[in-house]
A and B are shown apart, each in its own frame.
Chain A
């Protein structure tokens, strides 16, 4: 079954509002979670690495004040898109690293089902 969930799966909001997306690891405690954005032609861009109890590490070009990431517990990371604009409309995916290793040792990441954000 699913080991990483995201909520909501789909959200439509007005320009200027903030939207929070949750990512939960269901079967394990994830000290590290990752946030991705899917672009046209299906490419995934890593936005940030979220570590439990510390500040997220953002990739170059990703505005940390725009995309607020909080990893308050070992099973939950949140991404808040602040003052959303139409250009923020995208598909956001999270993944969680299983510290116990899983089948690939420390490489194992489990992906959530994604959240479709549409900003009107």
Chain B
């Protein structure tokens, strides 16, 4: 059974701190790993990672995939209160049956 595990489950930091969120996956026919930020209406897409070792960056957020370790990390530097959200990781598996397996998320709370 496909599985995605995120850690920690919950995290509270002060503004300005740097955080690292973890995601590990076990899926058949892995194709890519997706990160989302969930605040209100729908998860907002952050990154899609397909190649190992190549860092993707967007402002203060960055992410990298390690296919050998079957894992990914999402880094947020200089955190702001607006970064408070649940961060979801999802593994996309393919080969006929397109499927997204979501982790349970990491709740990040950034306090002033």
- Whether the pair B99, A104 counts as a contact (CB closer than 8 A) is no
Look across to chain A and name the residue whose beta carbon is closest to the beta carbon of B35: A42
Cα A2 to Cα B36 in complex, Å, equals 19
In the bound complex, residues from chain A placing their C-beta under 8 Å from that of B1 are 1-2
- Whether the pair A43, B9 counts as a contact (CB closer than 8 A) is no
Chain B residues engaging chain A, CB cutoff 8 angstroms: 1-3, 9-10, 34, 36, 38, 41-45, 48, 86, 88, 90, 96-102, 104-105, 107
- Which of A10, A42, A102, A113 is close to B45, meaning CB atoms less than 8 Å apart? A42
Q: How far is the CB of A115 from the nearest CB of chain B, in Å?
A: 9
- Which of B10, B90, B98 is close to A10, meaning CB atoms less than 8 Å apart? B98
Given contacts A38-B100, A107-B107, A109-B38, 14 further A-B contacts (CB under 8 A): A1-B3, A10-B97, A42-B34, A42-B45, A43-B44, A44-B45, A91-B100, A102-B104, A104-B107, A110-B102, A111-B88, A113-B2, A113-B100, A116-B97
Look across to chain B and name the residue whose beta carbon is closest to the beta carbon of A1: B1
In the bound complex, residues from chain A placing their C-beta under 8 Å from that of B42 are 36, 43-46
Q: How far is the CB of A11 from the nearest CB of chain B, in Å?
A: 11
Cα A45 to Cα B98 in complex, Å, equals 18
Q: How far is the CB of A6 from the nearest CB of chain B, in Å?
A: 9
